[in-house]
Structure 1
Amino acid sequence: MRRAASALLLTALAAMAADTRRSGFDDLSPALQALQRDDTQNPGQLWVQEGQALWSRAPAQGRACVACHATDTLPPIAASFPRFDPAAARPLTLSASIDRCRVRHQHAAVQGPDGAEVLAHAAYLGHLARGRPLQPDTHRALDAWQARGETLYRQRLGQLDLACLHCHDQRAGLRLGGARIPQGHPTGYPAYRLEWQALGSLQRRLRNCVTGVRAEAWAPQADEWLALEVYLARRAAGMALEVPAVRP
């Protein structure tokens, strides 16, 4: 019995040692790490508070979120996206799920992942799941989306002829423009970026990267963004959520 337990412990420790993944938080300056840790100073908390208020507020038409989803019994759902949506036969992100609920049950207009209310809701739900391991859906139907996302991650783009992996795999930890290059794990989104002076979605960050290599960005809500989100979420599976993250 003791030998078996010791073997399991050694296996677990070996797995932890073999995991070389790093959150973008690990590459921040001490000052920015302190800013993210302190909920009274983290600027992303403004969106968390707005999301919490929206959660309980009944719109002019339709129902408040809390009418269907009691906060005290709400599971940390933010850690389980993207999910496979059988009705649409495609991935569903947290932002898209929020938007769909707003349209169906509050008769609101579609906003997209960077709409004010969608961002606030995503920040609130992400904050409720903070510290939980990222556990995206493992439905087999998403395997093809993951494969497509990985292909895009490795594909050279734009006038600079660079792929995601050239920065976030091969040069992670080095410096670019004064900041350390992260491994590119989506554990903190929606995140507050100093360059934006605002909270933004993962899709916004991906769009910045695509245009940063001087490539033409895909259309909003294009399948390419979804495929990348599925791949990145599965690549980061098991890492802790840290919404709302602070990034340079």
Structure 2
Amino acid sequence: MTALVPGIAFAGGPVDEELVIDGEIQMITRAAPPEGHPLDEVLSGWLYRTEETRLLETDTFENPGMLEVQDGADLWNTVDGSAGKSCASCHGDAEESMAGVGASFPKWDEASNRPINVELQINKCRTEEMGAEAYKFDAPEQKALTAYVKHQSLGTPVAIDLAEGHMQSWWEKGNELYYTRTGQLNLSCASCHEQNNGNYIRADHLSQGNVNGFPTYRLKQASLVSLHNRFRGCIRDTRAEFPAAFSDELMALEVYVTWRGTGLSVETPAVRQ
């Protein structure tokens, strides 16, 4: 029998339903785990949400996160910086050039000798190609443009390449962090998302913590929430000091947690409570 974290009550697990967006895009919400994965099946967080929340994600017109995705589309075509360029100046139509791209991040970046995510890739393009300032962490523009880029991979299975550069060593560091208990509550990521997924904590149904839907629209915050914001929020909730966004610790964790969701469809922007 699974040992429960204090304050968590058994809830019954994920629903047995399929996610189809706009009646056309069949999403993969259950996938076979990659080799070495600790769980028998990889499950989307969508399966753990209430019926009302699940329905919001089935229709792009009803999905509240799509408003910020549209903001991202506007930013894609907006000229900014000393080079007089927009994203579209180099990459053209995002529906074509960005199709499938978001499903393969984080990637290895030789120049910085570390993994980078979509947010950091956007900032790299802005500073090096556009002559524009990098977006500050969680700036509305950063979240909107990241969501727009990742939305072009809607339905594409998550698949990162651990053979690139030193991605494997970052995976190993992320794996270590995932199981490290921290804070006054002495909890790890695994305490909730591996040992207790399917249970409730503070009226929220715990999922496996897969990140295939980020940036995610969270109803209680009424806006898109970035992945590193969510990481920091979880660490804060253990009553521990949280690392800076895009720090080595959180980038390693992003590599590992993204791998854990291998095979699930990109859902950006997912809708969660």
1:63 to 76, 85, 93: 85
C-alpha offsets along residues 176-202 of structure 1, whole Å, 9 cap, x if unaligned? 122210100001000111222211110
Counterpart of 2:254?
229
Instruction: Supply the AA of the counterpart residue of 1:99.
Output: N
**Using the alignment, how far apart are the partners of 2:175 and 2:103 within structure 1?**
21
Distance 1:135 1:16, change over 3 A: closer
Distance 1:242 1:113, change over 3 A: farther
* Higher normalized helix content (fraction of residues): 1
C-alpha offsets along residues 147-173 of structure 1, whole Å, 9 cap, x if unaligned? 000100000000000111010000000
CA contact (8 A) 1:146 1:230 kept: yes
Counterpart of 2:110?
86
Seq. identity, %: 36
CA contact (8 A) 2:81 2:131 kept: no
**Using the alignment, how far apart are the partners of 2:32 and 2:181 within structure 1?**
32
RMSD: 1.7
Runs of 5+ unmatched residues, structure 2: 1-30, 34-38
Instruction: Supply the AA of the counterpart residue of 2:101.
Output: I
CA contact (8 A) 2:229 2:245 kept: no
CA contact (8 A) 1:172 1:182 kept: yes
Give the deviation of 1:230 after TM superposition: 0.4
1:206 to 231, 241, 246: 231
**Using the alignment, how far apart are the partners of 2:136 and 2:210 within structure 1?**
22
Q: How many residues align?
A: 234
1:179 to 204, 212, 216: 204
**Using the alignment, how far apart are the partners of 2:147 and 2:203 within structure 1?**
28
Counterpart of 1:146?
171
Counterpart of 2:268?
243
**Using the alignment, how far apart are the partners of 1:33 and 1:77 within structure 2?**
25
Q: Which moved more, 1:180-189 or 1:34-43?
A: 34-43
Give the deviation of 1:64 after TM superposition: 1.1
Runs of 5+ unmatched residues, structure 1: 1-14
**Using the alignment, how far apart are the partners of 1:178 and 1:73 within structure 2?**
41
Distance 1:211 1:16, change over 3 A: closer
Q: Match of 2:88, SS? A: helix
